[in-house]
Structure 1
Amino acid sequence: MTESFGAALSPSSPIAPSTRQRRRFMARILSLPGQKVAWSILFVLVSAAVLAPLLAPHSPNIQDLTSTLAPPSGEHLLGTDDLGRDQLSRLLFGLRTSLAISAAVTLGVMVIGLPLGMLAGFTRGIANTVIARLIDVGLALPSLLLALALIAAMGAGVTSTIIALVAGYTPYLARVTRSVVLKIREEEYIDSAAVSGFPTWRIIVRHVTPNMIESVSVQLTLIFAFTVIAEAGLSFVGLGIQPPTSSLGNMLALGSTHSIDLPLMSIVPGCTIALVVITLLVCGDGLRHALDPRSNR
């Protein structure tokens, strides 16, 4: 961020980070303890989710009622569930579903929260006041409680889960975006661009957006991690992804009913959720330290 904020004051000079700056930024992230491991694990998890149709040894929804609740074996490495479905295949597709929903929610939060936060932070007057009060109202409501209320009104399913979580997490991104833009708005190069006659939209696109996107990306990483937990929680109680579609949450719910006789049914999806969330949080922490000019690490 310091390179961006310290850019030349001329509004005609490019502020977007160069390729060399981006490489240095990634080098700062990977130089922090544990970041190489965290980003490698994240790459493996995302690859496993994307390649689930190729990696899964069986169809995730094929039932074999002659082999229900089977322990791990050569044919079923993680065993089968109460309908004879292969647990490893369902885990891969469940990871795919959970990450896809979290990515959709994060994208929806970005599409809605970024413009609202930028509008509130860059403009002054009634628009800033109204949006700021709306953000305060959204933050006053627990995101998971709001999601539960919306799903109860719309019905359980993939679409309602995404909409409910987007509504719950958008105020958090809008607040961070607004605070960052408020700071950028006071920089001298913004005043220089305005005095030079550049239109507001060009100032926002060329000067504000490049300088705020890195800080906002940290918040998006955290939202992605929290969405994984929220989706798993909603699916666990039956309000999220509905069977036969597998997700980490409904796999954990099914496994909890067999935690004594077949503990792997709950341990594996539970550990997968924990691994995804911890990895995302560590990666987000690396982004935060790399972007913090006061950090000595």
Structure 2
Amino acid sequence: MPELPEVETITKGLNLKFSGKTCTKIVFHRKDLRYPIPQQTIRSCCLETPILSFKRRAKYILMETQKGSIVFHLGMTGSIHQEVSSVPLRPHTHAVFSFYENKQKKVYLHYVDPRRFGLISAIKGAVTGKEKYFQDLGLEPLEHKNLGKKLMQLGAHKKQAIKKFIMDSKIIVGVGNIYASESLYEARVHPETPAGNLKNKHFIAIGLAIQKILRKAIKDGGTTLKDYVNTDGKPGYFKQKLKVYDREQQPCLTCKQKIVRLVQGGRSTFFCPYCQKEKK
């Protein structure tokens, strides 16, 4: 599933290639994804008006115009591609947006999603943050200087395991399974430790680690394990820098003890039991 670094990478790519261009046509190849696609509303917000910018909120991508915003979510397997043809080049292409590159040449944005857990929708007028997509979202991890302090305030009395806590999008957005494991390793915190058992210094370390890991992943274009590619069709390269995720029984890069895998909430967690001792 694309997480914050992957969605941020895609958003930057879309800004670079499509901001300022005018959408002239939209073709939908199905009526729904996770939810019905409001085709008429999307066209009224988007057609024949310049794209002002692309922005990310959590794992949503907003294509902004003066009339409103088109909202994209990539779900489990979604991707957005720049193409030179309106003809779907990949299976499961569900929408094609046409733009003029110049007076003679067009460029196309293809939305692809094999498992159809993604979303294409629209918001008329200005985005307030109170829309159903955004109203329950938590902290943006890269927008807070004192992220650890804010996490401490939210988690001080919680019995929830710290890994589940930082993966809760109502607490903090964009910290998916890969980045949660990597951040807790960086902070030297055991993933099963109850959030309420941690001290201020641990939350500070976790906040700094989350920001460090996410920024590194964005710099490397995200993490490709299976499906993820950016708008140019290229994979992310942060996989080569993963220190614990998907490294079960391999030696810890710090202490050489074996990395352990456990399951939390149906998701695989990877950690070093020597470097990340549980805080009782």
TM-score band (shorter)? under 0.3
* Bigger RCO of structures 1 and 2 (CA < 8 A, at least 6 apart): 1
Which is greater in Rg?
1
Greater strand share, 1 or 2? Answer: 2
Greater helix share, 1 or 2? Answer: 1
Give the TM-score of the pair, scaled to structure 1: 0.25
Give the TM-score of the pair, scaled to structure 2: 0.26
